[in-house]
Structure 1
Amino acid sequence: MFKLLAKINKWLLPNYTKEQLDLAKATKFQKAVIAWKYFVTTRALD
């Protein structure tokens, strides 16, 4: 289930690494997106 969700996240959610987002200047929404993608990715790798 998490592998499918990770693919959907990759397609739908923005990639802040390519945008070189500074985490100190990120908004709460951007931090929430990063946290969600991290959670899903770590679960998908298990």
Structure 2
Amino acid sequence: MKKKLFKLLAKLNKIIFPSFSKSKLEISKAKKWQMAIIGWRYFVTKNSL
């Protein structure tokens, strides 16, 4: 059940949130809101695997 929820969240993240790797964002120059999105996407991806 938990894994299915995180897989659904991962699909929604892919649709809703921007991909910072495509725009070649440097982590050291990222703003706080960008770091929050990166952290959230990492958390969801880690738990969906």
Q: Determine which structure has more spread, i.e. the larger CA radius of gyration.
A: 2
Structure 2 partner of 1:3? 7
Q: State the TM-score, normalizing by the size of structure 2.
A: 0.90
Aligned identity (percent) is 51
User: How many residues of Structure 1 are paired with residues of Structure 2 in the alignment?
Assistant: 45
Of 18, 26, 43 in structure 2, the residue corresponding to residue 14 of structure 1 is: 18
After TM superposition, give the deviation of residue 17 of structure 1 in Å: 0.3
**How many Å apart are 1:6 and its aligned residue?**
0.3
Which runs of no fewer than 5 residues in structure 1 stay unpaired? none
Stretches of structure 2 that go unaligned for 5 or more consecutive residues are none
Q: Using the alignment, how far apart are the partners of 1:26 and 1:42 within structure 2?
A: 21
**What is the TM-score when the length of structure 1 is the normalising length?**
0.96
The whole-number CA distance in structure 2 between the counterparts of 1:33 and 1:11 is 13
RMSD of Structure 2 on Structure 1 (CA): 0.3
Aligned structure 1 segments of 4 or more residues deviating by more than 3 angstroms: none
